[in-house]
Amino acid sequence: MQEIKQNKIYFYWLLTCCLLLILLIWVGGFTRLTGSGLSITKWEVFSGLLPPFTHEKWLEYFNLYKEIPEYKKINYGMTLDEFKVIFGWEYGHRVIARFLVLVFLIPYLYFCYKEKISSFYKKFFGFVFLLFLSQGFMGWYMVKSGLNSDIDVSHFRLAAHLSLAIIIYCLLLIAFFNHKENKIKLSFNKNSKILLIMILLLIGQIVWGAFTSGLNAGLLYQTWPLMNGKFIADDINMLNIFSSMSLTNPSYVQLIHRLLAYFIFVLFIFLYFFKFRKLKNKKFIYPVYFALFIQIGLGILTLISGLNIYLASMHQMGSVLLITAVIYALFSLNNDRNAN
């Protein structure tokens, strides 16, 4: 009876961590979309848990914000009430991050102390905790890049910050689907390898999505399927597609983000008709294609809407839904194989 209770605690622990991480990614996305990420100019690791309650404390934070280029060049003349709005998003993002780490760490230490998890999971979750620490540091390292001479954060650091969150989410989700096992069990047959490649492709597309967001590349060409009347915009030279311009030039970054989306869509459709359709049990693959069409639709609507922040937020979360569906398919396929 005690073992069943412990298993339930373990199950709900992993589920809670996954849900909190989804919430963190969503709030982080809105923090970026509302231009709120630089509103808190200090890395308050242990302080800053409580929001400012007094007028004097609000002025202290506001005056620090007034010293950075973003305020002087973009938000000059912002009122205190307007500052409180962007402060709220960044503050909420940081509080959720801290709460998530505690929700992860305290049960993990308990399970280790009580020997409730295998040695494999002790090391596995220890590695995840190190990723959480790296994620926190990368968040500050990202913010720091926008405090001095730039009016925005480094898009490379933004991509690294988001990618770490997605990787942590994938690892926790994998552990969640294996919560009844003493270690992660995965058969590396052809279909499993294909799904793993799909996951890596999606992470790569998420990285390029972060580049697109960080460089504000979505503001350049807001038509689809053409880029101002042409499939490849006039200011893009395909001979430079594999140069550094693909990482730093907004036009090139948006084009590659589009091309990756087309490639992933065609590949997923090809795999369905030539691989997955032949499987006896295909139910597990349907959520992948549902999420794929939703994500593509949201991407197009986000673009042609002039980057409506609500659609852009849904587009970001659509990527989380899609990668969740692929991981679910991976382990459903694995369990189906083991059952047979």
CA separation for the pair 136, 142 (Å, rounded): 10
Domain match, 211 and 263 both: yes
* Domain boundary, last residue among 170, 185, 200: 185
What sign does the CA torsion over 224, 228, 231, 234 have?
negative
Domain match, 72 and 204 both: no
Domain match, 197 and 126 both: no
Q: What is the model's pLDDT at position 46?
A: 66
* Domain boundary, last residue among 185, 210, 230: 185
Domain match, 152 and 90 both: yes
Q: What angle in degrees, to the nearest 10, is found between the helix axes of 80-113 and 119-144?
A: 160
pTM for the full predicted model? 0.93
Residue linked to tokens 């790296």: 134
Check whether 339 has a pLDDT greater than 50: no
Domain match, 205 and 173 both: no
The answer to whether the beta carbons of residues 122 and 104 sit under 8 Å apart is no
* Domain boundary, last residue among 185, 212, 239: 185
Domain match, 134 and 195 both: no
Domain match, 208 and 329 both: yes
Domain match, 38 and 172 both: yes
Condensed to tens digits (0 to 9), the pLDDT of residues 285-319 reads: 999 999 999 999 999 999 999 989 999 999 999 99
Domain match, 95 and 213 both: no
What total of structural domains would you count in the chain? 2
Domain match, 132 and 244 both: no
Q: What is the model's pLDDT at position 4?
A: 46
Domain that holds residue 221: 187-340
Condensed to tens digits (0 to 9), the pLDDT of residues 211-239 reads: 999 999 998 999 999 998 899 999 999 99
